[in-house]
Structure formats: C-alpha cells, structure tokens
C-alpha cells in the first residue's frame, strides 16, 4: 500500500512528494503557529509562486523599496503581463500611505535584505486588512522566534531557510 502524507498525497516521486519535506513543513507551520506551510527549493521560487498564483492582468502589487532586489525585479517583470507595480517606502508611513483598495498584494520584509531596515509590520498588516489587500511578509531575518506575522493577520509569511533558521542550503 502506498504511503500518503497528512494532506492525503501519495508518496511516489521524491522531488514532488517527499516525506522529509512534509516533515519540515509541519515543523515550520508549528513554529509560526500557522495552519500549514509549503517548502520550495529557494526563496525566489516561493516569491514567484505567490506572484503567479495571486496576480493577474490589471492587478496591482506594492513592494517595499527596501525589499530584496530580485523580489522587486520580479514584480517589475510582471508588468509585461498587465500587472501594475508600485514601490512604497522605505518608511512605514510611506508604505501605509501607498496602500489603497486598488492594491491587490503588498510585499514587505520585517527586516530588509540587505540594508536591515525595520518597519512597523503590524501597522502595514492592519492597513492591508482594512483595504482588503493581501499582505505577504518576508520574515527571514526576524524568524518566527522573534515575530509571528500570521498571529497579526498577515495573509502569507515567507522565509529563506538559508539565513537564520538553518544557516545554509541543505535543509
């Protein structure tokens, strides 16, 4: 009888259905006190998945001016598909003032990479929830030990495990 994961997925092919990946996802969800977690082979694969599964033509995305450069560049690349990209910040009030009901997705980092700027993520989450914008928080540098954005109603939280959580890329 084939083995199945807690999601009911049959384990057939290690790249797609890997029991150690599912175990890691469970641990990460528990650390964040979240409902679930998904693990990708790199942070940009996770960001790409969020962008491509959430945004469509005539969507608007607001990205922090201090966000990781490749995160910003990927958002700009979506303009050729009709996605409007706006950059806000770097200060909390500048980000918050850029959020309107027309913004579909907001992407911020708790502590920016590489400049280590800290914003009031709770305030950004609050405004996003008021306007109906989905908020994605890259919590890589804070980790779930210091801050849990999900507990403050963030829509989605991302981590690059190669930084503080694991320190290298062989998780």
The active-site residue, picked from 7, 15, 80, 101, is 15
The active-site residue, picked from 22, 51, 68, 147, is 68
pLDDT given at position 69: 93
* Confidence check: pLDDT of 171 > 70: no
Instruction: Note the CATH number of domain 41-158.
Output: 3.40.640.10
The active-site residue, picked from 32, 117, 134, 138, is 138
The active-site residue, picked from 26, 65, 126, 163, is 163
The arithmetic mean of pLDDT across residues 88-93, rounded, is 95
pLDDT given at position 167: 72
pLDDT given at position 137: 98
15 classed as catalytic: yes
The arithmetic mean of pLDDT across residues 84-92, rounded, is 96
Tens digit of each residue's pLDDT (9 = 90 or more) over 56-79: 999 999 999 999 999 999 999 999
Report in angstroms the alpha-carbon separations of 158 from 3, 13, 37, 84, 87: 28, 25, 9, 22, 19
* Confidence check: pLDDT of 6 > 70: no
pLDDT given at position 152: 96
The domain ranges of the chain are 1-39, 41-158
Report in angstroms the alpha-carbon separations of 91 from 105, 155, 160: 18, 21, 23
Say which range, 26-30, 72-76, 147-151, 161-165, has the weakest mean pLDDT: 161-165
Tens digit of each residue's pLDDT (9 = 90 or more) over 8-43: 777 766 666 788 888 899 999 999 999 999 999 888
Distance CA 84, CA 93 (A): 21
138 classed as catalytic: yes
Higher pLDDT, 9 or 155: 155
Contact 108, 140 (CB under 8 A): no
Average pLDDT of the chain is 91
Q: Whose structure tokens read 């990946």?
A: 21
Note the pTM of the prediction, 2 decimals: 0.90
Higher pLDDT, 107 or 43: 107
> Which pLDDT band, with edges at 50, 70 and 90, does 163 fall under?
confident
């Amino acid at each position: 009888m084939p083995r199945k994961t807690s999601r009911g997925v049959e384990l057939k092919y290690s790249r797609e259905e890997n029991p150690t990946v599912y175990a890691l996802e469970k641990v990460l969800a528990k650390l964040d006190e979240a409902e679930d977690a998904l693990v990708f082979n790199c942070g940009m694969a996770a960001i790409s998945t969020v962008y491509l599964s959430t945004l469509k033509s005539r969507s608007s995305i607001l990205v922090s001016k201090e966000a990781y450069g490749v995160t910003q560049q990927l958002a700009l690349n979506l303009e050729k598909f009709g996605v409007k990209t706006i950059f806000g910040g770097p200060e909390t009030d500048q980000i918050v003032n850029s959020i309107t009901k027309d913004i579909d997705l907001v992407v911020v980092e708790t502590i920016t990479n590489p400049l280590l700027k800290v914003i009031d993520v709770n305030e950004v989450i609050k405004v996003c929830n008021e306007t109906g914008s989905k908020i994605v928080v890259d919590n890589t540098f804070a980790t779930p030990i210091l801050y849990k954005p999900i507990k403050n109603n963030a829509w989605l939280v991302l981590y690059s495990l190669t930084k503080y959580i694991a320190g290298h890329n062989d998780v």
